[in-house]
């Protein structure tokens, strides 16, 4: 039973480029969460999605960031026109969410470096 998958594991972009991060939830999980972790800090919630729906995007910057979780395929976190401050580890987690507080299982993360 594969866990949460994320790719790429490492991503290097120059300022102004686009970064596209992918997350495949665990089998049977239809809810995905994205978190950002700056160096030596805790994880900060960004967005919570179900298939084809954004449930809560209160933690996502209003500009340059977008997320989707299509009916088929992985969830994608997209960062347009990256800046150095976007350098961080981006983790996604998934849950079956039958109760609203189900356990979230994390992927290995994508480490984004903006040059």
Q: Give the whole-angstrom CA distance, residue 115 versus residue 111.
A: 13
Is 35 or 79 the residue whose CB approaches another protein more closely? 35
Is 57 or 68 the residue whose CB approaches another protein more closely? 57
| The residue to which tokens 């089998």 are assigned | 27
Q: Give the whole-angstrom CA distance, residue 25 versus residue 69.
A: 10
Least distance to another protein from the beta carbon of 115, Å? 20
Least distance to another protein from the beta carbon of 14, Å? 24
86: left (phi over 0), alpha (psi -120 to 50) or beta: alpha
Least distance to another protein from the beta carbon of 23, Å? 12
Residues lying near another protein in the complex (CB under 8 A): 31, 33, 35, 41-45, 48, 55-56, 59, 91, 93, 97, 100-101, 103-109
Q: Give the whole-angstrom CA distance, residue 38 versus residue 111.
A: 10
Is 10 or 15 the residue whose CB approaches another protein more closely? 10
Asked if 85 and 70 touch (Cβ cutoff 8 Å), the reply is no
Is 25 or 107 the residue whose CB approaches another protein more closely? 107
């Amino acid at each position: 039973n594969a866990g949460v998958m994320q790719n790429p594991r490492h991503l290097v972009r120059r300022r102004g480029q686009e970064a596209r991060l992918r997350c495949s939830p665990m089998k049977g999980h239809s809810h995905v969460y994205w978190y950002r972790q700056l160096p030596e800090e805790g994880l900060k919630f960004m967005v919570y999605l179900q298939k084809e729906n954004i449930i809560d995007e209160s933690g996502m910057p209003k500009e340059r960031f977008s997320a989707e979780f299509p009916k088929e395929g992985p969830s994608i976190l997209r960062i347009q026109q990256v800046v150095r401050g976007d350098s961080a580890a981006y983790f996604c987690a998934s849950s079956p969410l039958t109760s609203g507080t189900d356990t979230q299982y994390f992927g290995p993360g994508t480490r984004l470096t903006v040059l």
